[in-house]
Structure formats: structure tokens, C-alpha cells
């Protein structure tokens, strides 16, 4: 049994998207596209690359942890005492691609950050789908 004070929570969003994994991968890894649905960044899909997401409210310090093109992307996500990991998993389906995003590592005392992620990621997913629908 684990100690309740060390338990962490995750935010998970999963969607079936009518696009090939390669197209979704581009939207997850090309800075000009990331800016259209998430935030401005200096992202590069290279393990250990340090980058930032920048928004009106501040910035997020990140480091690429895993890159498997068109399949898996993971990076750390640190801001205001928050130290989490965002993992994207792309799985081809008969309809297109199953996209799964998990932001893991929210401590029990980080209710506000957890709530922000819970409400924010679905909005980012909507914007991502709009970007995918309009790009070649």
C-alpha cells in the first residue's frame, strides 16, 4: 500500500482523430504548429532538448524525455513548483489515429494546477483538431 502523501494524479485525454499519425506528429513537434494550438515554443523533437512554452501568464520549462517518431513523445513540464511529465501516444486505427495525452505527477497539494490541466487540455485538444483540419 502506498503512502497517500506521495500519491500523484494524472490528467488523461484520449481522442480518435481522422488523421494519419504522421500529420498529428507534425502538429505536436513543429513549433509554428504547436503555437497555433498550445503555446509559443522553441521545441525540437530531440531527447534532452530543453525548451519553453510561453504564454501571457508566464512560461513552462520543459525537457524532451522520449521521442519515437509518429508513436511517442514525452517531455517534462515545470512551472510554479509543478513538476509533471506530458506523454503523447499515437496509435494508428482504421479511422485514423488514437491520440492519448497523459500529464502525470500532480501531487495531492497541487489541486489548482490539476484543475487547470483538467479544464485546459480539452480546450487544447479542440484547437489541435482545428489545426489538423486546416493543414496539409
Looking at residue 68, its pLDDT comes to: 98
Average pLDDT, the chain: 94
The packing angle between helices 21-29 and 111-134, to 10°, is 120
Nearest to 73 by CA among 61, 83, 64, 82: 64
Residue 4 lies in a domain: no
Number of domains the chain is built from: 1
Residue 92 is part of which domain span? Answer: 12-134
Residue 51 lies in a domain: yes
**pLDDT(2) > 90:** no
Residue 5 lies in a domain: no
Q: Average the pLDDT over 7-17 and give the result.
A: 96
Residue 3 lies in a domain: no
**pLDDT(111) > 90:** yes
**pLDDT(67) > 70:** yes
Residue 105 lies in a domain: yes
Nearest to 130 by CA among 40, 36, 55: 36
Q: What is the CATH number of the domain that holds 47?
A: 3.30.530.20
Residue 6 lies in a domain: no
**pLDDT(4) > 60:** no
Looking at residue 110, its pLDDT comes to: 94
Which pTM does this prediction carry? 0.93
**pLDDT(1) > 60:** no
Q: Average the pLDDT over 101-107 and give the result.
A: 97
Q: Average the pLDDT over 80-92 and give the result.
A: 95
Amino acid at each position: 500500500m502506498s503512502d497517500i502523501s506521495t500519491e500523484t494524479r494524472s490528467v488523461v485525454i484520449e481522442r480518435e482523430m481522422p488523421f494519419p499519425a504522421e500529420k498529428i506528429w507534425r502538429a505536436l513537434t513543429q513549433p509554428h504548429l504547436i503555437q497555433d494550438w498550445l503555446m509559443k515554443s522553441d521545441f525540437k523533437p530531440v531527447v534532452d532538448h530543453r525548451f519553453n512554452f510561453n504564454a501571457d501568464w508566464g512560461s513552462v520549462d520543459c525537457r524532451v524525455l522520449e521521442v519515437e517518431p509518429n508513436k511517442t513523445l514525452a517531455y517534462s513540464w515545470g512551472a510554479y513548483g509543478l513538476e509533471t511529465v506530458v506523454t503523447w501516444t499515437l496509435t494508428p486505427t482504421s479511422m485514423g489515429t488514437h491520440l492519448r495525452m497523459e500529464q502525470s505527477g500532480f501531487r495531492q497539494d497541487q489541486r489548482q494546477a490539476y484543475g487547470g490541466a483538467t479544464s485546459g487540455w480539452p480546450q487544447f485538444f479542440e484547437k489541435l483538431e482545428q489545426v489538423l483540419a486546416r493543414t496539409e
